Structures are given as C-alpha cells and as structure tokens.
Structure 1
Amino acid sequence: MDREEPLTVICTVVAIDPTSFCYRVCSVCDKTLPDKGPSLCQFCNMKGFIAGSSDFERLYRVLLSVATENKVFVVICFDRAARVLFGCSADEFFEFSKLNPLSAVAAGKVLEGEMFQMTLSKPKNGNAQYLRVVSVFPLRSDFSPAINTLKKLYGVGGSSS
C-alpha cells in the first residue's frame, strides 16, 4: 500500500468525543491494557515484572471532529499531540476528571471553535478508520490549554501549575 505524505491543514475543532479520551498502557513495555480489570501486563508479568504502584499509565486517544474550509471530518489525536490541546498528561486529566466528573465534556466546550494548524497522516494500521494527528499548533497567540481554563472554572490548581 502506498504511503502518502502527511497533510498539513488549517482547521477548527467542532467537537470532541468525551466518552473515551484515554487508554491504559503498561509503564514498562507500552502494551495496551484493558480499560477495566487487573492492570498486570501479561507480557511483562511473564518476564518477571512485579506490579508496583506505577504498573500502568494513561495515554490520550481523543476523537476530534474538525472543519477545514472544505469539509468536516473526524481525526484521532494520540498522546503527544493531545497534550498540546489539554496541557497535561492523560493521567493528570483522568485524576482531574475523577474530582470534576463533567470536565471531559467541559474540555470539549473549551476547545470548540479553536483554530489549529494540524499535520495529519494516514493510519499505519490498515484497519484504522481515522486520519491521525501528527502535530498540532494553536493559531491563536493567547491560546490556553483546556486544563488551564478548567482549573479556573472549577476553582482548583491556582498559579502553582
């Protein structure tokens, strides 16, 4: 299959799917773990890995609807690019969301209408259905990541963040 060059577009965030914004991976081998249930990695466990308090971490996997001047479509934004939008790690946002249950929905509202320059690529996995966000650059000079706005909204964090 032909590999196409990444495509750079100017786009606006139309919506974010707040239902599943992250996934769990083994902190040793980066293998995906089930969302629920035990967090022991079968790969590392077989190699003598002893589960500790940091046996897994969360990484972003965010579905975004974006609009260019020609069309609206869904892209998938993984950890490195999503950190630009959210301003923190997926673990930090997950913990924040536990204390503020509507924060994932609120993050979508905060980012809705923001304009970005995004570099998109076809997925490496042939079964994947969405273009991947390789990089994201805010176009507004005073852009503030979602977590900053949410901390102000919920009255937490202060200026120590």
Structure 2
Amino acid sequence: MEVDKPATLVCTVLAINSTDLCYRVCSICERTLADNPINGPSSPCKFCNFNAFNPGSSGSKRLFRVLMSIATDTKVFTVICFDRAARVLFGCSADEFFDFAKLHPFVADNVGKILEGEMFRMTLAKPKNGNAQHLRVVSVFPLRSVFQPAIETLRELYNVRAES
C-alpha cells in the first residue's frame, strides 16, 4: 500500500514483535536517549542538560514503539505503532507497562497473544522520515464492543489489581 495521504482501513492484528516494545526519551524534549546494555540507562539528555533555560537535569520516560503485522481483506502489512496509538492497544503508558513486565515474566509475549486476531479500524500514513521502512499507525479504533486493552487482560491473567 503506497499511501500519499493517510488511509483508514479495517484490519486484524496478526503478530506483534515483542522484543522491543518501548524506548527511552527525555521527559522534557522527548528526544530519544540511548540505553547502554551493560550499565543501563545512558546519561541524561545532552540538549536539555546544557540548555540555559533549564538548569536542572532532565529525567527520562518510556514511549511505545510497537512493530506489528496487520492484515486487511487483500494484503498483509508491517506497520509501526508509536505511543499515542499504542496506548489504545495497551491501555497504559509505556512506563506502566515496563514496570508491570519487570514483575511478571513473559508479559511481552502474552501481549502478542492477547491482541492477535483483534480487529481495528486503523489510519495509516507514510512516515515523514525518508529512511523509515514501515507505514505508521496514526490512529486505532477497536471494532469489538467488548475490547479490553492488553493491560487489563494481563492484570486478570496475573491476578493483579489495578493501582489507583
């Protein structure tokens, strides 16, 4: 599907790549921060730490970046779903999901199983970055009236109450 303008279609989730569902960004400017696999989180945002208007150090937060396969009635696509649209699927922030996943094994794999086969109306757009390879999910709307975001199903599965 070559899309010059955003296109809305009805699709089914076939699979979700569960290896890397989120990434860290600066909590102020939302620029991507690199993680060091040995020492954990990298240094704070270089831009915000040296910004004269912001003398304090910046923290970080996580945002969703979900690679998934979807199918329409005629074609299968690999798309990427960033934070705003992914929150509809997950029902929580990426930080909340990450914290939940630290306590409960196989959560990332179970998300794929939970969302597999769900039908959505998705709006897809061409990436603004010329180097990007996948269509972007601009918006997601569940088509099943009893759809539950993944975190709710995971809480039931792991017998965990929602925090207030």
Q: TM-score range by the shorter chain?
A: over 0.9
State the secondary structure of the residue aligned to 2:64: strand
State the secondary structure of the residue aligned to 1:93: helix
How many matched pairs?
156
| Cα distance in 2 between the residues matched to 1:139 and 1:73 | 19
| Cα distance in 1 between the residues matched to 2:97 and 2:161 | 12
Aligned to 2:97: 93
| Cα distance in 2 between the residues matched to 1:139 and 1:39 | 42
104, 115, 118: which is aligned to 2:119? 115
Runs of 4+ in 1 over 4 A off after TM superposition: none
Within a 5 Å distance, the mapping from 1:3-152 to structure 2 comes to 4-36=4-36, 37-47=41-51, 49-51=55-57, 55-152=59-156
State the secondary structure of the residue aligned to 1:8: strand
| Cα distance in 2 between the residues matched to 1:57 and 1:94 | 10
| Cα distance in 2 between the residues matched to 1:49 and 1:99 | 35
Amino acid at match of 2:83: D
| Cα distance in 2 between the residues matched to 1:115 and 1:86 | 14
The RMSD of aligned alpha carbons is: 1.4
Tell me by how many angstroms 1:75 deviates.
0.3
Runs of at least 5 residues in structure 1 that lack an aligned partner in the other structure = none
**TM-score calculated relative to the size of structure 1:** 0.92
- Cα contact 1:39–1:56 (8 A) shared by 2: no
**TM-score calculated relative to the size of structure 2:** 0.90
Amino acid at match of 1:61: R
State the secondary structure of the residue aligned to 2:35: coil
Q: Work out whether 1:155 is the aligned partner of 2:163.
A: no
Amino acid at match of 2:56: I
| Cα distance in 2 between the residues matched to 1:20 and 1:10 | 25
Tell me by how many angstroms 1:38 deviates.
2.2
| Cα distance in 1 between the residues matched to 2:136 and 2:82 | 8
State the secondary structure of the residue aligned to 2:42: coil
Runs of at least 5 residues in structure 2 that lack an aligned partner in the other structure = none
Amino acid at match of 1:137: F
| Cα distance in 2 between the residues matched to 1:153 and 1:20 | 22
Tell me by how many angstroms 1:49 deviates.
4.2
- Cα contact 2:6–2:125 (8 A) shared by 1: yes
Structure 1 residues 40 and 114: alpha-carbon distance in aligned structure 2, compared to 1, 3 A threshold:
same
